[in-house]
């Protein structure tokens, strides 16, 4: 039976360590891939949000006589769209990379 003592370099210990490292590498790779997909979706949302807010700001500056409440509603709706929880899942970091 392999021991957890890192100073014992017998074949069982080294094989067990190799198996653990291989399993951990696969799990980390999958987690990193999931994080990169999530980051890509967040970047897409932020780009869209930035573009839409710039449009609203441009309209507000070009038409100072327009109703400010309408602009506030546009901004609120744009931000609500960006917070769509169905597209960006909640990520739990409690066991991430452990």
Q: Which of 44, 51, 53 has its CA nearest to residue 88?
A: 44
Quote the pTM value.
0.56
Q: State the Cα–Cα distance between residues 44 and 59, nearest whole angstrom.
A: 23
Instruction: Identify the residue whose tokens are 């980390």.
Output: 28
In this predicted model, what pLDDT tens digit does every residue of 9-50 receive, in sequence order?
788 888 888 888 888 898 899 899 999 999 998 888 888 888
Residue predicted with more confidence, 10 or 93? 10
Residue 93 has pLDDT above 50, yes or no: no
Inter-axis angle of helices 68-82 and 11-62, to 10 degrees? Answer: 160
Mean pLDDT across the stretch 66-88?
A: 76
């Amino acid at each position: 039976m392999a021991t957890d003592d890192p100073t014992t370099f017998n074949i069982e210990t080294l094989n067990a360590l190799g198996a653990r490292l291989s399993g951990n590498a696969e799990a980390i790779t999958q987690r990193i891939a999931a994080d990169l997909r999530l980051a890509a979706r967040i970047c897409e949302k932020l780009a869209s949000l930035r573009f839409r807010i710039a449009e609203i700001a441009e309209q507000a500056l070009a038409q100072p006589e327009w109703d400010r409440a309408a602009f506030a509603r546009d901004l609120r709706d744009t931000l609500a769209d960006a917070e769509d929880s169905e597209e960006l899942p909640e990520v739990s970091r409690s066991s991430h990379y452990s």
